[in-house]
Structure 1
Amino acid sequence: MSTDTATLPVGRYAYDQVDRTFLSQRVAQFREQVNRRIAGDLSEDEFKPLRLMNGLYLQLHAYMLRVAVPYGMMGSDQMRMLAHIARNYDRDYGHFTTRQNMQFNWIRLEDTPDILQHLAEVDMHAIQTSGNCIRNVTCDEFAGAAADELLDPRIHAEILRQWSTLHPEFSFLPRKFKIAISGSPHDRVAARFHDIGLVARPGAQGRPVFDVFVGGGLGRTPVIGVQLRDNLPEEDLVAYLEAIVRVYNAYGRRDNMYKARIKILVQALGVEAFREKVDAEFALMDRADYRLDPAIVDGIRARFGIPELAAPADAAQKLAADRKADPAFDRWVRTNTHPHRNDGFISAVISIKPDGGIPGDITADQMDLIAELADGWSFGEIRVTHMQNVVLGHVRKDRLRELWTRLVAAGLGTPNIGLVGDIIACPGLDYCSLANARSIPIAQKLSARFADPELQERIGRLHINISGCINACGHHHAGHIGILGVDKRGEEFFQLTLGGSAANDVAIGQIIGPALPEDETVDAIARLIDTYLVLRQGDEQFIDTYRRLGAASFKDAVYAPA
């Protein structure tokens, strides 16, 4: 394949024939395994590790297939293929996850080889979306476009993808392993809640370096990652991460899955002892074999298509005039856009969370529309966020109102990014066999309760995260308001946490009191938010008011008698 940037897909790494041959062989291998399972030659226990290596889970009602979207980047052709799969093999929709992947919840076992074959036709797969391996590396959804970016983290995320895929030493780790990378000092990837989090910052001589955080995680034992190193140069990225994962693989517990994550190991050893082991491993490695020479990095960068960012000189002025002429458009721009490195462009965030909708769910028709809009407005490039939304990264400012008009007409123009309606939720007990309670109905009721866009703007930045069980797939510990589904004698109850954050001001939400029955939870949160609006000072945001006053003021509101 040519590396002429005019022939490469914008935003994502261009596969070559080696990559495609590998995917084809993997599909053929799994097709034979599925046939053996259907024929009864493999038991479910024997088949389970094979299907998990291909992203296939057995849920409450059907198989679920998790499709990898490496570092959240895809092209319009790939989105159209996901729409095709949703329409022909699922129930006409898919679900974006907090790891920037896509899940299909109603898959038939006998269809999975054909689905994987369709994915391979557009350079997609489901490898390492499950199992005790290094999972999909997550990345800033504004990578390569953000005005505050020091380096393009997609390049390094792709390097880590290639390094980790089927790594012979790390294919059967003590537990799953998650990495996130931000190219900006402003953490937009929840880096400190990952097994390894990488955040770029300015280094000496103007060259960015990485802050390396290790041992973060959510689940039944939420932990904020500790800083293992604050000056990791680009050339040592792979070597240092390999040293970390080697130490985890050697010392991580395998006798108890609940104590097997690296966060438990770091706590058990202590950060200094863990650092010593990593440094010792790092010192033993032949660094020449791992060093990321500039030529290697440039070679990976060359496999990404670069958009030609040409905009009229008056593009910014045109946007300003459009905003002045239409208050509804102006509100959407305030909430659903992000500054671009090129003054003539802007990044547009498409909310997949309409009023009363299901967070992260997207229909086949909506997928096709977003693919069409990506072709028309953003060089065919689409980004999935870990907040379960979609981004068009390179939109000309003078054409933004046209895009917004199309989105509004399709029901995709909800102006709620970062606000109370931008709820994160896992699928919960409606689908997941691990869940204790349903996340979706609570999310829908809250979204409908706070649907008024003027009210959402008055409330200001407020993150609500909902998990259906202690595994925390909805990242409830990291929400300003977290909601955890629990089981009480066969009934669904919801426990509230307050004060969490996944950004630079990272914090774990604290339990405010006893769990509430479902029919009381939404009203309790409404009272909590009303209390914040009374107690805040000026334009103070919820998280700042909570930290200033503490939990007591809010607890009284939550547990006020009906």
Structure 2
Amino acid sequence: MTTTVPAKAPRPARNAKPNGQWKVDGKTPLNPNEEFKAADGGLSVAQRIIDDYSKTGFASIPHDDLLGRMRWYGLYTQRDQTLEASRTGTLSDAEMSSEFLMMRVRIDGQALSTEALRVLGGISTDFARDTADITDRQNIQYHWIRVEDVPEIWDRLATVGLHTTEACGDTPRGFLASPVAGIAADELIDPTPVVEDIRERFIGDPELANLPRKFKTAITGHPSLDVVHEINDISLVGVEHPDLGVGYDLWVGGGLSTNPMLAKRVGVFVRQDEAAEVWHAVISIFRDYGYRRNRMRARLKFLVNDWGVEKFRQVLQEEYLGRELPDGPAPAPAKGNYDHVGVHEQKDGRVWVGAAPTVGRVSGTILNQIADLAEAAGSGRVTLTPHQKLLVLDVDPDKAETLVEGLSAIGLQARPSIFRRGTMACTGIEYCKLAFVETKGLAATLIDELETRLTDLDLGDTQLSINLNGCPNSCARIQVADIGLKGQMLKGEFGFQVHLGGGLADTKGEDGELGRTVRGLKVTAENLPDWTERIVRRYAEDRTEGESFAAWAHRAEDEVFTA
């Protein structure tokens, strides 16, 4: 039997500033965020919310709990809506905050029963002014939450197996998982057992509750590559090994924000029964070696970029797994319907109906209506997608068209235009303290305008993603959209810097690519419909047969896009 020698951690250069890597520099906190986490872990705040703050009110919550630890339970302060866009970035977090909270409910890709939908809907109508958004992290997000109501909300969520634990904060946040796991006829492997194993064993584990920053996970076994695996800290993507059968390809180090990087293949094959162990090893590397001194460099992508994939694989195998993983194949090019919108046959003969709410915006009232419509169609469950969509599963085929009509009547389109289908938007200035511009309402107006103006264009099966983000942080994935719009103020007007031709393997059928920027190209919110109409028409005129918008945008001259 051979003995595996642990890999030596890379030593910092002499006289270099420490990066706060626990296994290199020790655990002495090097910034205020690390100090409050070291003083008292984020998971400790739940009991204080229940016992104290829900009784004594918002004003009684200490700074480090309000703007720090409460994030460990999916709670952020909401933007003071009296503040103009010009105040973004000029005031402190506390000064930007109102006395209301945003709450994220982590779903982790699991199917929601109609009972769970009604619980989510009831929380919205009772405590959140009927707000509810489907996020591009497959979560439900509420606004207008009072701290006094949080314990009751948690109790209601618990009755249907849901919670907000580690929905935010420096934690393993909610997973992306294939929304058609276990039902798709063309699925390579069902990732549900892996997701459930990780969730049960590791979510809420104090050993993983103090990471350098957030840690995002994606897992799929569907050939459409439906979980945007290139932009997560860790992704497990279904593949078939020529000798070992079906399992997962491991990707690490993806993330967007102000310094976007696409994930890298580690090159190993991961069996289903070891996937949770490999996930735990990767997140442990991040905990132990991730950079903590500078939060701008505290994501896993910076460590992977500095180490390289070979070094990362060596540390993973030698120090954390104690064994080598076999080499494995890359995923096949994406095929199929990555957002799963429409009516599709399941492997059991029933169908699912995927529908697009406008930029993910629903409400508690709508969630309750969806539950009624689903049950009338013979279904008892729904799933959410990483593209702000909703699927009703297990539908009686004879009742599918009635369901399509019922969903359309409440604003969810199973046969949407390419503009309604392909547009996403973040929360924006309506609620977010970091945003400069309004996004959800503007996106809805843009969709309506394009649907009206471009009825004469036959774009066939063209896919077109238009992503609006209120700030540079790319919650709406602006760098990997066909048209990505980064919110900023333009001489006192709402406006956007434009990214063009980005995409991921799910939409491009090839390797992901970040969008390009054109020097000086900025578009005001007022002119956005005119500019977008002109660009889409120019694409329709200039494209070669079968050419995607992304391919055209990367070859077109700068002058084509000038606003």
Common fold by TM > 0.5: yes
Deviation at 1:216, TM superposition (A): 0.5
Aligned to 2:502: 500
Q: 1:114 is aligned with what amino acid?
A: E
Aligned to 2:354: 349
Query: Please, what TM-score do these two structures have when normalized by structure 1?
Result: 0.80
Aligned to 1:200: 238
Instruction: Summarize the Cα distance change of 1:488–1:252 in structure 2 as closer, same or farther, 3 Å threshold.
Output: farther
Deviation at 1:30, TM superposition (A): 3.2
CA contact (8 A) 2:220 2:238 kept: yes
Deviation at 1:36, TM superposition (A): 6.8
Deviation at 1:428, TM superposition (A): 0.8
Deviation at 1:138, TM superposition (A): 0.9
Distance 1:443 1:411 in 2: 15
Instruction: Summarize the Cα distance change of 1:181–1:511 in structure 2 as closer, same or farther, 3 Å threshold.
Output: same
SS in 2 for 1:337: strand
CA contact (8 A) 2:343 2:400 kept: no
Greater Cα offset, 38-47 or 195-204 = 38-47
Deviation at 1:429, TM superposition (A): 1.1
Distance 1:405 1:186 in 2: 26
Instruction: Summarize the Cα distance change of 1:277–1:59 in structure 2 as closer, same or farther, 3 Å threshold.
Output: same
1:52 pairs, out of 47, 71, 88, with 71
Deviation at 1:347, TM superposition (A): 1.9
SS in 1 for 2:157: helix
Query: Please, what TM-score do these two structures have when normalized by structure 2?
Result: 0.80
SS in 2 for 1:428: coil
Aligned to 1:105: 143
Distance 1:39 1:396 in 2: 48
Give the total of aligned pairs: 481
Instruction: Summarize the Cα distance change of 1:507–1:417 in structure 2 as closer, same or farther, 3 Å threshold.
Output: farther
Distance 1:221 1:255 in 2: 17
Greater Cα offset, 154-163 or 481-490 = 481-490
Percent identity, aligned pairs only, is: 28
Superposed CA offset, 1:527-555 (max 9, x none): 110101101234544234335xx131xx3
Instruction: Summarize the Cα distance change of 1:418–1:153 in structure 2 as closer, same or farther, 3 Å threshold.
Output: farther
- After superposition, residues 27-42 of structure 1 pair within 5 angstroms as 30-35=49-54, 38=57, 42=61
CA contact (8 A) 1:218 1:471 kept: yes
Greater Cα offset, 98-107 or 413-422 = 413-422
Instruction: Summarize the Cα distance change of 1:484–1:72 in structure 2 as closer, same or farther, 3 Å threshold.
Output: farther
- After superposition, residues 256-271 of structure 1 pair within 5 angstroms as 256-271=294-309
CA contact (8 A) 2:479 2:499 kept: yes
Superposed CA offset, 1:226-278 (max 9, x none): 00134111222122222222222122111111100000111122222222211
Distance 1:436 1:264 in 2: 27
SS in 2 for 1:403: helix
Superposed CA offset, 1:120-153 (max 9, x none): 2222111111100001111111211222201112
Give structure 1 stretches of 5+ with no counterpart. Answer: 1-24, 288-333, 354-358
Deviation at 1:522, TM superposition (A): 2.5
2:530 equivalent to 1:523: yes
Distance 1:60 1:233 in 2: 45
SS in 2 for 1:77: helix
Instruction: Summarize the Cα distance change of 1:29–1:155 in structure 2 as closer, same or farther, 3 Å threshold.
Output: farther
Instruction: Summarize the Cα distance change of 1:431–1:488 in structure 2 as closer, same or farther, 3 Å threshold.
Output: same
Instruction: Summarize the Cα distance change of 1:59–1:164 in structure 2 as closer, same or farther, 3 Å threshold.
Output: same
Superposed CA offset, 1:454-505 (max 9, x none): 5686362111111111111111112111111123465432011111112253
Distance 1:122 1:215 in 2: 33
Instruction: Summarize the Cα distance change of 1:403–1:38 in structure 2 as closer, same or farther, 3 Å threshold.
Output: closer
Distance 1:473 1:54 in 2: 19
1:510 pairs, out of 507, 516, 519, with 516
Instruction: Summarize the Cα distance change of 1:207–1:414 in structure 2 as closer, same or farther, 3 Å threshold.
Output: closer
Deviation at 1:29, TM superposition (A): 5.5
Decide which structure has greater helix share: 1
Give structure 2 stretches of 5+ with no counterpart. Answer: 1-43, 81-99, 326-339
- After superposition, residues 34-433 of structure 1 pair within 5 angstroms as 34-35=53-54, 38=57, 42-61=61-80, 62-204=100-242, 207-284=245-322, 336-342=342-348, 344-353=349-358, 359-413=359-413, 415-416=415-416, 419=419, 421-433=421-433
2:547 equivalent to 1:546: no
